[in-house]
Amino acid sequence: MTPAQLRAFSAIARLGSVKAAAADLAVTEAAVSMHIAHLRRELGDRLFTRTAGTLAFTPGGLRLASRAAELLGLQDRTILEVRHAGSGRRQLRIAASTLFAEHAAPGLIELFAHRAADLDVELSVHDPDRFPVLLRTRAVDVAIGPRPAAVEATMTCTHFLNYQIVAVVGADHPLAGRTVGATELREQTWLLGPSAVGRTGLVPSVLRRLSVPDHNQRIFQSQAACVDEAKNGKGIALAVSFAVTKAVAAGDLHRLDGPHLPARGSWNLLALADREAPEAAAELRRFVTTPRATQAMLRGAGVTAGRFRPAIHVTLWS
């Protein structure tokens, strides 16, 4: 099997047709078909058949689709490591949930990267449901966020920090200083960050428990933007408790006590087993549980420009 053959098959599995795979790879349909024919002869399996305008994959084809993604990811990772080794630098790619990326990642990255002069860190934000796939395909080296419902045997999960989500309103909001019930909470305007999108994580869980209707939810580009709107009396914001401690102490925000509030969660580091993970990933897993790391996450001032390379991802809501 060659990388070109695996890329052709992986594109077909991902996109659902030879034509779409050829367009994605910028090659002819004949070239894609030739790669598939070579794989079929070598593996002794049809891999897939065409039925009613769609593709039906054989059990062997489904297994190859999974392995092809892993092998291609490993190839890309190897190329990256060789290039960085030649330049004397290493790179650590971190996938994170939105809450962790905004509130705790900057301090952690600043302190961790400062310990190794040859290390660059890339942070990207993803839905935690995709963490296992990102790790299996070597798209990232570690993933940080809520603990998965099940941890795969080839991966390790390290718990390192507990946190609370609290509901806050501005000082002049009608609910300030009151204990409120679920019905009254549901009727309010909720000011939410990107962590509210999707079904995984603490914020979506709180909204489901309270049965907050969609028309009462306003999504902002960050948790900080939500908190600013709450200070102006525009509604209820869900915030990480340590991020609003000063504002609450100063009287700019008031915490609401009510059902399912505050909500408690934890952040965990997911990685491939030691023999599969890059050295920097194992280093981070050991470091993240230390008191210095915890202090940096709670109080960090951000990472020095040039050491932190964010990967840009855009999410559109309609």
3-state secondary structure 193-219: CHHHCCCCCHHHHHHHHHCCCHHHEEE
Q: How many domains does one find in the chain?
A: 3
- 129: nearest Cα among 142, 141, 154, 146: 146
pLDDT tens-place string over residues 203-233 = 999 999 999 999 999 998 888 899 999 999 9
Continuous segment of H or E residues that includes residue 24: helix 18-25
Cβ atoms 18, 7 nearer than 8 A = no
pLDDT of residue 153: 86
Q: Which one of 79, 112, 135 terminates a domain?
A: 79
pLDDT tens-place values along the chain, 318 residues long: 888 998 898 888 888 888 999 998 899 999 999 999 999 999 998 888 887 778 888 888 888 888 887 788 777 767 776 766 666 677 888 999 999 999 999 999 988 988 877 788 889 899 898 899 889 888 899 999 998 888 888 899 999 999 999 999 999 999 998 888 989 999 999 999 988 887 888 999 999 999 999 999 999 888 889 999 999 999 999 999 999 999 999 999 999 988 888 999 999 999 988 676 778 898 999 999 999 999 999 885 444 444 444 443 333 333
Query: Sign of dihedral through CA atoms 224, 225, 230, 231?
Result: positive
pLDDT of residue 228: 93
Domain co-membership, 56 together with 124:
no
How far apart CA 21 and CA 66 sit, in angstroms, is 17
> What are φ and ψ of residue 288, in 5° steps?
-65, -20
Longest dimension (CA), the chain: 73
316 occurs within a structural domain: no
Cβ atoms 194, 162 nearer than 8 A = no
- Parallel, antiparallel, or unpaired: how do β-strands 190-192 and 54-57 relate? unpaired
Structural domain for 99, as ranges: 86-161+265-299
Domain co-membership, 275 together with 207:
no
Q: Which one of 79, 94, 117 terminates a domain?
A: 79
Q: Is the pTM of this model over 0.75?
A: no
Cβ atoms 236, 138 nearer than 8 A = no
Domain co-membership, 139 together with 193:
no
- 14: nearest Cα among 75, 77, 62, 58: 62
Domain co-membership, 130 together with 273:
yes
Domain co-membership, 100 together with 180:
no
312 occurs within a structural domain: no
136 occurs within a structural domain: yes
317 occurs within a structural domain: no
151 occurs within a structural domain: yes
155 occurs within a structural domain: yes
Domain co-membership, 216 together with 294:
no
